[in-house]
Structure 1
Amino acid sequence: MSASSPCISICEVENGRCIGCGRSETEIAEWRDYPEEKRLAIMDRLDEEAANGGWIDAGAFAQAASATGDAAPASTPAKVQSNRPGTTNA
């Protein structure tokens, strides 16, 4: 069995957390050393954070969009999909 990971290959850290998967810099650095049980617990926490609107301030998406010229209203938080197979966030 392969190790579980929430990585979605958007690897950029802002405010100490990856904007792709939501893990902290420490969690990313130590991920390979964590037992599967701890990885799954972290992934459950990330799913819960995503279900509650995520950890990134909605304004961060507006700033990123304005830097690239894309239109993204600051008042509309981005929907965050679950990284766990077989789960979705409504």
Structure 2
Amino acid sequence: MAKKIESPCVSICQLKGGLCTGCGRTLEDIRHWKSMKRPEKTAALQKAKQRLKRLD
């Protein structure tokens, strides 16, 4: 069985323009995280990583 994908939350939780500056997820991603299927979570994590790179 595949390992559970943990939330990327780093407990900073500051939203700026609908985007968390701590983990890079959108407000929509955060809201739906628990109900997302594995492929959705993987895609959300990849997008979040790219967003965080742009914030630096």
Larger Rg: 1 or 2? 1
Same fold, judged at TM 0.5 (above): yes
CA RMSD for the aligned pairs?
A: 1.7
1:69-84 to 2 correspondences below 5 Å: 78=56
Distance across 1 between alignment mates of 2:5 and 2:49: 17
1:8 aligns with 2:10: yes
TM-score (norm 1): 0.51
**Kindly, what percent of the aligned residue pairs are identical?**
28
1:7-86 to 2 correspondences below 5 Å: 7-50=9-52, 53-54=53-54, 56=55, 78=56
Instruction: List alignment gaps of at least 5 residues for structure 2.
Output: none
Between Structure 1 and Structure 2, which shows a larger proportion of helix residues? 2
Instruction: List alignment gaps of at least 5 residues for structure 1.
Output: 57-77, 79-90
1:21 Cα deviation from its structure 2 partner: 0.4
